[in-house]
Chains A and B, each alone.
Chain A
Amino acid sequence: MAKDEFTPRTFKVVGTRPPRPDGLDKVTGRARYGADMSAPGMLIGLCLRSPHAHARIKSIDTSAAEAMKGVKAVVTRADFTTTPEDQGTRDILDNVMAGEKALYDGHTVAAVAATSRSVARAALKAIKVEYEVLPHVVDVDEAMKPDAPVLHEGRQQESVPKGYSQNVLARSQYGHGDIEAGFKKADIIVERSFTTAATHQGYIEPHACLATMGNDGQGDLWCCTQGHYMVRNTCSAILGMDAGRLKVTASEIGGGFGGKTTVFLEPVALMLSKKAGKPVKMTMSRDEVLRASGPTASTSIDIKIGMTKEGKITAAQGEFRYQSGAFYAMNGALGAMCGFAPYDLENLQSVGWEVVTNRPKAAAYRAPGAPMAAFAVESVMDELAKELDMDPIELRLKNAAEEGTKSAYGPTYPAIGLKATLEAAKAHPHWSAPLGKNQGRGLACGFWFNFGGDTCVSLMINPDGTVSLSEGNPDIGGSRAAMTMMAAEELGIPYEHVRTVIADTATLGQNEVTDGSRVTFAVGLATIKAARHAIEIMKTRAAATWGIEPDAVEWVDGAAQPAGPNAGKFPPMTLKEIAAIASNTGGPIAGHHEVNAEGAGVSFGTHIADTEVDPETGAVKVVRYTVFQDAGKAVHPDYVEGQLQGGAVQGIGWALNEEYIYGKDGTLQNAGYLDYRIPVASDLPMIEPVILEIPNPGHPYGVRGVGETGIVPPLATLANAVSRAAGVRMTSLPMSPPKLLAAIKAS
């Protein structure tokens, strides 16, 4: 365990705000995204998608499509003859190309590649699919009932008690102590049930790729993804080829938020290319993105919390039922682990349920599973604060987890920043600002684990003294800037002397997906270690030049120098000077580091929102919003602030208007940004980010991931603010105007 990595230091580059290295490309349109790549002889690929929520595929006749002029390949599941070894990859195959059944509206059942989009469109129409429409289920509580329509037989894990539908795939329990005894000690108990709707990550760039499979069995894939190594491993397993024969290059990425941590088009495009013998480009329409890429789970949650009249929690209990679409996901378990994580609890029982329904396969969405759990737990905390007439911050401070607390999910916390965020919120002018008519203030806390994982970095010292850094993670939140800064910091050279690129899968070793807020932490750690590796080599070269021992050389401000007067008297050799003579001192110089990074350091945040409710229409205006989050060390504060603001905004959308709306026939009713209502800029106040820096002991600079925690508190923050403004407790998200007006009129 890397618990002793952090050493306090004074930073020169880290913590400043230099221009982002990808900025000019992105504002001039020079940056190349998924759909921006072309190849000679390229075909256009399109998917045929199920119009039914649940249907047995009795037959598919592709002959008319195949006979059309300009159609070069048609693929169905019959073309995918390899069965991947692990269940997760088999699920992905079933998701990207339906097998015996179409499991949701939008599930791909066939695909074509043709010389133009219009020919491809016509070919889709010529494919005849015979469906036997089956009963469907899209609601999590309905899907758990023993008589619900069943998606998959025989996939239920032993952890599920008898009496539930086969759709309930798993049950997991967390906690400690004796909740019955704890509830007996309580002076007050609040028990409530909550629901949240499925929401989409809402990235601006639709999925896109360009696949080329040669007759020699070698493939190249260009795609928009959060992890091209994952794409390589998954696609090669599905296509039955060696991973090393498929080279995947990540495009620039127009957002992902977890939704691009899996594959959708890529294996299909590769199969079409293999069959056609030509490059195939595929791009999803927005309608396809919403119908067939991964939204998050919808949930049904019960929370019970008991407290003494002084506000100390005596027991807490939660049931977290999550539907994750047509395939297994562990969102319910993550919800059960995260919901109570901010609190020091003597007695806790937290149970997660994983349920499948006839909806698209859920993908990760920024702290997957945690925001809904926090919504339910923090709503009950707010109600308890009201009942006890206590300040919501004081109530939380009384129960807040700190270093040494046994967490809700098991481990004991090292140094954490929850209390610091609560104290900062308490001291901030927002908390004590007066409220206007029909306004209410809400507060909530949130937790996310953060992650490290497999990481490789290479750092090359160029002959002119500049540095080229290669990382293997698509830059989705500013990683090129952050890595450049950490390399420059460690080497003691200017930011402008380092350029960081995202290497393809043939260039570096395995890299985990850009997920779990891991990159600034893990890739940063590897970058610092790769720089230290290069420094060691440079010190050796200087030592040899001077004829002294390498141990007698130290690295200060970008130069090697003798370590003290006894080492000998030589003027310092700068990185540039060492680089210039490297060819004569042993050859080119490069550092590298490969690691499964541990010690990511959990992250906490506290949010405050003021909302104004129109009591006649149920419309909600967010008047003021402040985010407090522990970043460990903010490498590039602009990006950190952006992460905090972005998380808050996505959470506000989730709380107020975003939802997957299904018709009686199980088809998605709002597959577009007109009726899938993401907030627009004018819906939002300026989100004020307050960065706290409680160093992570597991990182040399104290860095913690910051990408995900920001979306955990807002659902509850908004619910608490709206409930106080409207005078009625809102337990169902989104709090859309029709729902809120009905609640106001009923109260």
Chain B
Amino acid sequence: MKFETPQTIEAATALLAADAGARVLAGGTDLLVRLRAGQIEPSAVIDIKRIKGMSDITQEDGGWRIGAAVPCSVMGEHDGLKAAYPGVVEGAELIGSTQVQGRCTMVGNLCNAGPAGDSVPAMVAAGASVRIAGPEGTRDVPVIDIPLSPGKTSLAKGEFVTSVFLPARPARSSDAYLRFIPRTEMDIAVVGCAVNLSLNEDGTVKEAHVSLGAVAPKVLDVPEAAAALIGSKCEDAALEALATAATAAATPIDDKRGTVAFRKDVSGVLARRAAKLAYTRAMGEKS
């Protein structure tokens, strides 16, 4: 097995294009675990951390660009990012344990294409995109289009994600992510739900996005749930309609982590709770 530390994006894509068995390493919190468990045997490991910009968080067009190797704990210490997207940051800070968060990245979480990735729903609800580098150059793709099915992404041979972009947002906007786990930490979402809201001056919801994780083969964007909030002040009736729509949209499976009925019920419960939290945060920005 080869270990490569390319200094440029071009060098990295060349290495990836030349070796179908190569894997990208950023935080390594999934790759190294799978490697040691004998689940994967890559022919090469391409460490992208030395490439310029991979570990940077920068403002761009009023939004935020987060490098592919930025550890989730670094996001948690970034005041600007936390103020703009508290839901995205709280999702990122739920991955694994404190030690894992010191290494793990949102891009790694996304590119695992696991249905339960904790950082993904809030990125989807935020309308985030990723920048992909490949042998043919770069392209920007919405986050929701990256995972295809468990373990599969839409990335082509030789491509890798270099950054995430969280777009600029109007005043009176905020977001929240909640997940259900049987424990309090160091676990994987049985259901995850992100809600992203922008409010009118009168406190009614102008724009809403609701995203569910762990209840389908890939992360879900649930516009019908979001629609239930438009024009409301997240009153009980609107939250109930939101919960019903979220429960209806979830298409989970029975497995070791939960049942279909449980996951559908809890999708609604979390949507309701996350919406209230996002609304409170959005109102708080106004004051």
Contact = CB atoms under 8 A, between A and B. Distances in A.
Interface string B105-135: 0000000000000000000000000000000
Interface of B: 37-38, 180, 182-188, 190, 255-259, 261-262, 265-266, 269
Nearest to B269: A616
A742 B183 contact: no
A602 B255 CA distance: 42
A81 interface: no
Contacts of B256: 661, 669-670, 675
Contact of B184 (A674, A675, A683): A683
Contacts of B265: 616-617, 741, 745
A177 interface: no
Nearest to A286: B37
A618 B184 CA distance: 14
A677 interface: yes
Given A679-B183, A680-B183, A680-B185, A742 B37 contact: no
A390 interface: no
Contacts of A674: 187-188
B269 A617 contact: yes
20 contacts: A121-B38, A285-B37, A616-B266, A617-B266, A674-B187, A675-B188, A675-B257, A680-B183, A680-B184, A680-B186, A682-B183, A682-B184, A683-B184, A737-B180, A737-B258, A737-B262, A741-B262, A741-B265, A741-B266, A742-B261
Contact of A619 (B38, B182, B257, B259): B182
A618 B262 contact: yes
Contacts of A741: 262, 265-266
A616 B261 CA distance: 13
B262 A677 contact: no
A650 to B, nearest CB: 15
Interface string A657-693: 1000100000001100011010110110000000000
A742 B184 contact: no
Nearest to B182: A657
B104 to A, nearest CB: 14
Interface of A: 121, 285, 287, 616-619, 656-657, 661, 669-670, 674-675, 677, 679-680, 682-683, 736-738, 741-742, 745
Nearest to A668: B256
B183 A677 contact: yes
A656 B182 CA distance: 9
Query: Do most interface residues of chain A lie in helix, strand or loop, or is the interface mixed?
Result: loop
A738 B258 contact: yes
A680 B256 CA distance: 19
Contacts of B257: 675
Q: Which 3 A-B pairs have the closest CB atoms?
A: A738-B262, A682-B184, A616-B269
Contacts of B184: 680, 682-683
Nearest to A682: B184
Contact of B182 (A669, A677, A682): A677
B117 to A, nearest CB: 14
B277 to A, nearest CB: 15
A656 B185 CA distance: 15
* Residue from the set B182, B257, B259 with the largest chain A CB neighbour count within 10 Å: B182
A741 B269 CA distance: 12
* Residue from the set A285, A617, A656, A657 with the largest chain B CB neighbour count within 10 Å: A617
A680 B181 CA distance: 12
A121 B37 CA distance: 11
A177 B168 CA distance: 80
A745 B257 CA distance: 19
A287 B37 contact: yes
B100 to A, nearest CB: 12
Contacts of A669: 255-256
B262 A742 contact: yes
A151 B92 CA distance: 48
Given A121-B38, A675-B257, A742-B262, A619 B187 contact: no
A736 B182 CA distance: 7
Nearest to A678: B183
A677 B37 contact: no
A44 to B, nearest CB: 14
Given A616-B269, A674-B188, A738 B259 contact: yes
Nearest to B96: A674
* Residue from the set B183, B190, B261 with the largest chain A CB neighbour count within 10 Å: B183
* Residue from the set B184, B188, B261, B269 with the largest chain A CB neighbour count within 10 Å: B184
Nearest to B254: A738
A683 B262 contact: no
Contacts of A745: 265
A73 B15 CA distance: 39
A682 B185 contact: yes
A679 B259 CA distance: 21
A738 B259 CA distance: 7
Nearest to B180: A617
A677 B185 CA distance: 11
Contacts of A677: 182-183, 187
Contacts of A616: 265-266, 269
B116 to A, nearest CB: 11
Contacts of A287: 37
A741 B191 CA distance: 14
Contacts of B185: 680, 682
